Amino acid sequence: MNNTLLEHGQEGCNKQSSPSKRSLAWFDDALLLGIMALLAGCGLIYEYLLSHYAGRILGALEAAIYTMIGIMIVSMGIGAFAARKIRCAFTGFALLELTVAFCGSLAILITAAVIGFGQQLPLIIANTLGLPPDHIPDGGFIGTLQNLSEYLPYIWGVILGLMIGMEIPLIARVRQSLSEEHLLHNAGTIYGADYIGAGAGAAIWVMFMLSLDIQLAAALTASVNLLAGFVFIWRFWQQIRWAKLILIGHFVASGVLVLLAMHGPSWEQNFNNLLYKDKVVYAEATRFQQLTFTERLRGNGQEPVYSLYINGRLQFSSIDEHIYHSFLVHPTMAASARQDKVLIIGGGDGLGLKQVFKWQPKSVTLMDLDEKLVELFTAPDEKMPAHVSQAMLSLNGNALNDPRVNLVFDDAFNGVDNLIKENQKFDVIIVDLPDPSHPDLNKLYSDLFYRKLAELLSADGAMTVQSTSPYHAQQAFISVGKTIESAGFTVQQYHHNVPSFGEWGWSIATRAGKDAKSRLAHNQPLPIEEDWLTPGLIHGAFEFPGNFYDDKDKIKTNKIGSLQLYHYHLASWSDNQGMNLF
């Protein structure tokens, strides 16, 4: 009986569409090509949405974009072959857009729910069974579930890729069925619309959707698929089998999209919040990264602990950020002959800047890519809870509002070129950038970038670069030091334990005269008000185990374009920092 229905459906499809083959109206052709262009843009945006979710929420941005694009391209190819099995192109296309709209709008929300549940499951079990904290289950089925859930974005990529791949063949068949003659340039015309639409989609993503909540962006993209389906049903109603039923499905999907646009972002954020150990009190997606602020109440009159995560990676915790920033700033300032003019690259939270001002510099230039991040640490934000906003301003001592600060919002790799053109020189340069966990960040740890900084540093000045963990990423740590040396600096490295990060390291460099370690050899107290860091702690920080540098000659420098440091870092860090992974 099913075969009979299929044959009847095919006959109906062919019979109804045959009158339209007598002429190919320009309106129909323009409509189909316009739909194809829109859907190509949607397909590209789905790739970006899924890969950026993996990167911003799961902290896996290193390979997510490239992996997702590859997976979806292969899936689209398979989908193009599979489209041959669809007997009626008109009915198949209308159903396809309805399905793509549902999957595209719900993919990220479902992924967030599954991952969030997977991370909370051990606590649920432990609380139900009354298990002590050191008996929280973390292996077996639960561990497998947690690991597999992180691949969900790629599974959605396969599903959406298969369906997106079917769109071009189906549109091509629809165009052909509306024409009396064989269309010699059918494929070329369709692909032309596809390429133009993909380019427009990329532009929309960069200019508009990057700053939107990712779930809202997904709902808006899915609405375009649904709109394409509505228009297609309206124009080719007679050629579509089960047109009324498919139209009802489109109306149901419209209601779902409205609901997702209104409440989806908050639902998704609540699921994402389950990934963090502490309570998430504020989260925002900027054009460049996902910012998440957490709060842990301690009671007994103690201040809450606030932490900032960027793309799922811990950037600071208020309980011990002073350790990190003291070691980042004070040895550098003390090793420089002067402290009048300072350049900070990164450090948009102003915490390092607060330490710099203890040395009473005349001017400080702070260069950061993300203006929105800096704004959150400069003035109260109406979206952020008032007590959290005030805590951030208190934490950095309102340093970003000091009149001596010159804020520059630019990509550091290109931004320093403008400083070089202005013939600027700095007594101290502090490089406080995220780890080289992405190819785009790798260039900021390259030999070429450090040669640029050498042009900006005074001959008797000093520069420090945060250099990841010498314990967890030894090869990456040593490579940073060797790369700075290759740019003409004399380099020493030092380390200290920062409880929130573990053992952490920095590289301090000078251009001429004594090296930094020799300049810091005295045991005099620092000439500033500093009640934590002492000369003894600084001197001890330069000591490493006797065999730490045994393989230094085998470790390569990070030449521009080589991605060497990125690969060292990727091989060393296998766990996501700060996530609630048991």
Residues with a known catalytic role: 432
| Spatial separation of the C-alpha atoms in residues 264 and 106, rounded to whole Å | 9
CA distances, 490 to each of 454, 475, 486, 507 (Å):
11, 19, 9, 10
In 274-400, where does DSSP find H-type helix?
Answer: 321-335, 351-356, 371-376, 386-395
Q: Which residues are 295's β-sheet partners?
A: 279, 306
Cβ contact 392:348 at 8 Å: no
Q: Which residues are 466's β-sheet partners?
A: 506
| Spatial separation of the C-alpha atoms in residues 169 and 435, rounded to whole Å | 44
Residue linked to tokens 């540098």: 549
For residue 467, which of 478, 456, 455, 452 has the smallest C-alpha distance? Answer: 478
| Spatial separation of the C-alpha atoms in residues 261 and 217, rounded to whole Å | 9
For residue 276, which of 242, 313, 251 has the smallest C-alpha distance? Answer: 313
| Spatial separation of the C-alpha atoms in residues 105 and 49, rounded to whole Å | 11
| Terminal C-alpha separation, the chain | 53
Residue 104 has what DSSP assignment? H
Residue linked to tokens 């393989």: 551
> What's the token pair of residue 393?
């301003």
| Spatial separation of the C-alpha atoms in residues 481 and 502, rounded to whole Å | 20
Residue linked to tokens 């109306």: 251
For residue 365, which of 421, 404, 314 has the smallest C-alpha distance? Answer: 404
| Spatial separation of the C-alpha atoms in residues 200 and 194, rounded to whole Å | 10
> What's the token pair of residue 223?
């609405």
Q: Which residues are 579's β-sheet partners?
A: 276
| Spatial separation of the C-alpha atoms in residues 240 and 230, rounded to whole Å | 12
> Dihedrals φ, ψ of 422, to 5°?
-85, 5
DSSP codes joined into one string, 184-212: TTHHHHHHHHHHHHHHHHHHHHHHTGGGS
3-state class (DSSP) for residue 491: strand
